[in-house]
Structure formats: structure tokens, C-alpha cells
């Protein structure tokens, strides 16, 4: 009896969950590695600090309190798993999208195949397979494993992009990137300017 084809999925956001589902349906021995402590990728809203901004170490996505989708949910769901029929609004909260992906993972029994707090440090081809080096972020232990196939689904929004703004170093107020913004109330009564979010007390 031949061994099952193995598959590694990097990331357990929308693309990663979908890739994992189909890999399992095709009979592969599949596992997904997720760096964060829950699934959902960019839809996970991390806790904010007292100043209304997440700390750099905790930032996983650009989600903030009260964010709504800029696309209608009717074009965001998977063909084989629709949003709940009792959800009337088209432009929904990020928290509703996160619940949708959590429900998707539960419905298709993906959770046992997802390893949380696992950072994929390196991927390289080796003897016709893919060698994957992971770091367990709780135990700080590195593990190497080989797979036949790999899906890279780690997304594009975990690392902010900083534009080059002439004179930015001259500004003495508080500067933050929108990636770490979490609550609008924090900036009530402040003077703001766009490109970067500046405020001064």
C-alpha cells in the first residue's frame, strides 16, 4: 500500500482554509501551520493597547473595532458554504467574517489539521519534496518535516508598508501606521493628517 501524498499549507486565513479543505478532500495527508493563536488570517482583530493602538509584537492584521467590509458578503463567500441566511446586511462587520471562517473550518472538520502558534521559518526543495522548518512559538522548538506539496497562503497584510514621506522626521507628534490603529475614540479632539495618522497632545 502506497503512502498518502502529504501537503503543507502555510497560513490558516481564507486561502489557507480553502486549500486545506480541498487537500483533505483529495485524500492528502494535510496540515496547516498558523503563526497566530487562532484561525482567520487578516480578519482577526488583535487586542489594542491603552492608547488605542496595538503593539507591534501583537499586530497580526489591520482590523480595527467596527470595521465593515468594502465588498458585499454575497461576493465573499465560498460556493459550497454560504453566509447565514438570516444575515440581512451586505456590508458586514469584520467580526462576522471571522465567525464565518471559523464556522467554515468547523463545518468541514479542518481544525484537527491546523497547528496554531507555528511559524514557518523556511521552505526549500529537497530531493523532490519540500522541506519545511517550523518554530513552535510556545516551546521555542524548531521542527523539520518534508511534504510532497505546499500551499503558501500567508497573505499580504501582516507587514505594513511605509511610504517615503519627505520631512516625516521633522514631525514631533505621535505617528502611527494605520496597521496598528484600533479605536477611533482614542483620537477624538485631536488634529489628524492623512498618509500617516498624526496626532499631538
6-156 CATH, one of 3.40.50.300, 1.20.140.10, 2.20.25.240, 3.50.50.60: 3.50.50.60
Residues 154-185: tens digit of each pLDDT: 987 777 777 787 887 887 777 777 777 777 77
Structure pTM? 0.83
Least confidently predicted of 34-43, 107-116, 157-166: 157-166
Distance between CA 38 and CA 114 in Å, rounded?
10
Distance between CA 31 and CA 23 in Å, rounded?
9
Distance between CA 10 and CA 17 in Å, rounded?
10
- Quick one: which H or E segment has residue 162? none
Residue 99 is predicted with a pLDDT of: 97
Distance between CA 158 and CA 155 in Å, rounded?
7
Instruction: Identify which of 26, 2, 36 has the alpha carbon closest to the alpha carbon of residue 149.
Output: 26
Instruction: Identify which of 182, 117, 176 has the alpha carbon closest to the alpha carbon of residue 193.
Output: 176
Distance between CA 92 and CA 76 in Å, rounded?
11
Domain edges within the chain: 6-156
Instruction: Identify which of 153, 149, 142, 200 has the alpha carbon closest to the alpha carbon of residue 176.
Output: 200
Query: Which whole number is the average pLDDT over 19-30?
Result: 98
Amino acid at each position: 500500500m502506497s503512502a498518502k501524498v502529504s501537503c503543507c499549507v502555510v497560513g490558516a486565513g481564507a486561502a489557507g482554509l480553502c486549500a486545506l479543505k480541498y487537500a483533505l478532500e483529495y485524500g492528502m495527508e494535510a496540515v496547516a501551520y498558523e503563526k497566530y493563536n487562532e484561525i482567520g488570517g487578516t480578519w482577526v482583530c488583535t487586542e489594542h493597547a491603552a492608547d488605542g493602538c496595538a503593539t507591534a509584537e501583537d499586530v497580526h492584521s489591520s482590523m480595527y473595532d467596527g470595521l465593515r467590509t468594502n465588498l458585499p458578503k454575497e461576493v465573499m463567500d465560498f460556493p459550497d458554504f454560504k453566509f447565514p441566511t438570516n444575515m440581512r446586511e451586505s456590508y458586514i462587520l469584520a467580526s462576522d467574517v471571522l465567525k464565518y471562517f471559523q464556522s467554515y473550518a468547523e463545518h468541514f472538520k479542518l481544525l484537527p489539521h491546523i497547528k496554531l502558534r507555528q511559524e514557518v521559518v523556511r521552505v526549500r526543495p529537497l530531493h523532490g519534496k519540500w522541506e519545511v522548518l517550523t518554530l513552535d512559538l510556545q516551546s521555542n522548538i524548531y521542527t523539520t518535516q518534508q511534504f510532497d506539496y505546499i500551499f503558501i497562503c500567508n497573505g499580504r497584510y501582516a507587514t505594513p508598508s511605509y511610504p517615503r514621506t519627505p520631512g516625516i522626521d521633522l514631525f514631533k507628534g505621535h505617528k502611527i501606521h494605520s496597521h496598528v490603529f484600533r479605536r477611533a475614540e482614542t483620537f477624538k479632539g485631536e488634529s489628524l493628517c492623512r498618509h500617516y495618522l498624526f496626532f499631538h497632545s
